[in-house]
Structure 1
């Protein structure tokens, strides 16, 4: 697991007015909570975080958060963005305990789809029903992503949650809720045009009574 470091400074003044002044100064107000410590208000450099948040790891990896020289391991739990400006309004980070299992959403990486029988067949749709899954594991076992090899995917195949190959120590909590929660992740099926053509009756299959009515008009 790669290490990702971000820096912040503590802040003593809170409230909407203080947060507005921070944003005008190109900083992001944020909060760190969880664990045995009290919640802490912090601020981060907007430009550095804006660059970091363009990477997948920012959302799914353990982050080493340095606040005034003290480093804590955290997960990003919430990000508030401006409705139309490229501005991050607020961030929530949760502290993690190295000895306690956590839950986090992990992105899925789909491999070799274009090399698969389904991917090579014209008119076939390969649908990604999920782009991420929630996992449960110790912080040290948290993967940045989970790979799904689709090289053998054929027309009509369905890849379910239970088919995913998980790293050691990683579980999918959803599967513990019952078989009905073993949902589809990838589906390979005929496109709508093909289905429509198969469903439409041929002219020769139209009943004689209907054909006669058409001729009478």
Structure 2
């Protein structure tokens, strides 16, 4: 897929508001051998591309007739509406590796009969060639028991990438369920509660 973009003649809050009103998204393309270039892209084109290829997709952007291969580095969403607000795209040069965040997917949690499975890390930061970016990193937890912890060092990742996230970072933990304490037999809960004072009542 390919995005079409046009160079922005003006920048700033007012011009960005006007662009969004015209269903355009303010964006910037930057890279080691590519000067930072403010552009405007069609909102629907970007939404369709991200929906089909994902956030880590590598694609071409056509800026006024000149194509450049890019990767989405950051997308800001509107706080008031479910739509994209600003986009940063990194221009990629031949042979260059990029640092991206890849989603971590938990499998087999329903097979854990005892304990509560909690995912502590949702994304793994990796360095990889653009063509080799995985869609996700999977971790199977079905054999885990209470007290078990999975760290980044335990993840099985493709050999063509380098993990940037620290090895000792916790990914998944299985904890014992918390039991509610029952009142001791024979204790009178109501008796232990302080009685409200009646205003205006005569005191002896």
TM-score class, shorter-chain normalisation, is 0.7 to 0.9
**What is residue 150 of structure 1 aligned with on the other side?**
141
**What is residue 82 of structure 1 aligned with on the other side?**
78
Please point out which of 128, 141, 144 is paired with 2:132.
141
Which sits farther off after the overlay, 61-70 or 37-46?
A: 61-70
Structure with greater strand percent: 2
- Give the superposition deviation at 1:155: 2.5
Which sits farther off after the overlay, 31-40 or 5-14?
A: 5-14
**What is residue 100 of structure 1 aligned with on the other side?**
96
The TM-score normalised by the length of structure 2 is: 0.78
Structure with greater helix percent: 1
The two structures, once aligned, show a CA RMSD in angstroms of 2.6
The TM-score normalised by the length of structure 1 is: 0.74
Q: Which has the larger radius of gyration?
A: 2
**What is residue 177 of structure 2 aligned with on the other side?**
191
CA separation in 2, counterparts of 1:53 and 1:140?
Answer: 16
**Residues 92-145 of structure 1: CA distance to partner in whole angstroms, max 9, x if unpaired?**
11112331222111101112222x3x2x33xx2100001111011222322121
Please point out which of 4, 7, 20 is paired with 1:11.
7
Unaligned runs of 5+ in 1: 176-180, 204-213
Establish whether residue 21 from structure 1 lines up as the match of residue 12 from structure 2: no
